[in-house]
Structure 1
């Protein structure tokens, strides 16, 4: 069921945000971090969210509004997804500068990382606490089958799926040892 897939994907994202929190704490203690791991996480969150996760949610939310009427919390999620995408891109741009050896003070980077983590967590928490319960309360099995038919086949996750894509091998190995 797509609702369960959404929750599972949220749990994957939370795992990655925990790693970013650890990196943030190291920065605050003026310790070094592996920026490539941070980049891998941001790349995954950006790619998976924008190409798979958010479009899947937007499909579900659109179906809900079409069949169950307006729900203020749900109607604003497409805009929130767009804003989250912009925040992610801004952080990815700063991270790219760091990886290209541009001097970015640790406190400035830490502030941006903290904001990025906060925005991601806030969004995930909202969907888990507010949106998914509304869907689970209202959707019938036929509704879930309908949105699954609209979405098509299940996605292949490049990091948490059966086969880890080359781009995420380093992060996958890091998660096994961390």
Structure 2
């Protein structure tokens, strides 16, 4: 399970790096493919916010039940809610622009910058502090119980998974070409 979470984190970081590159292009006054940006944000909403984070939330609740109160763990579920709102807001902004409503470039740049920063900070904290903590504390029995609890939250990754969801075909092609 931790391997899956870490793989998801690597994939999310790949997309955050892509967003960072697009920020630099926007700041330089260059054009960017806004549909591609929207696809990145839509993926994060559809997969990270609907499967990945709920899976982590189950782990966090289990940890709190087993180990007791922990500020560093309990804050993460709240952060997931904040990340979802930020994702929805950025997706709304991109859809607004794609529907030919003028949004100042600076507002778009700032929104993407804040989003990337928020996501990166969250992932780094989980990777450096929370996942090692759970790895050290959970027994094989704990992991077996958690596997049963998270089964309903698991879904195939629509971008990086084997199935290859059509909604993300252009983004997938872009990532393959970028390598």
Structure 1 residue 177 displacement after superposition: 0.9
Q: Identify the residue that residue 91 of structure 1 maps to in structure 2.
A: 90
Q: Identify the residue that residue 54 of structure 2 maps to in structure 1.
A: 55
Structure 1 residue 112 displacement after superposition: 0.9
Structure 1 residue 70 displacement after superposition: 1.4
The CA deviation string for residues 116-168 of structure 1, in whole angstroms up to 9 with x for no partner, is 11111111111111111110111112111110111127531111111110100
TM-score, scaled relative to structure 1: 0.96
2:15 paired with 1:16: yes
The CA deviation string for residues 53-109 of structure 1, in whole angstroms up to 9 with x for no partner, is 111001011111111111111111111111111111111111111111111121221
Q: Identify the residue that residue 120 of structure 1 maps to in structure 2.
A: 119
Distance 1:157 1:44 in 2: 9
The answer for unaligned runs of 5 or more in structure 1 is none
Q: RMSD between aligned alpha carbons?
A: 1.1
The answer for unaligned runs of 5 or more in structure 2 is none
SS of the equivalent of 1:78 reads helix
Q: Identify the residue that residue 68 of structure 1 maps to in structure 2.
A: 67
Q: Identify the residue that residue 157 of structure 1 maps to in structure 2.
A: 157
Distance 2:169 2:69 in 1: 42
Distance 2:7 2:155 in 1: 12
Distance 2:96 2:54 in 1: 29
TM-score, scaled relative to structure 2: 0.95
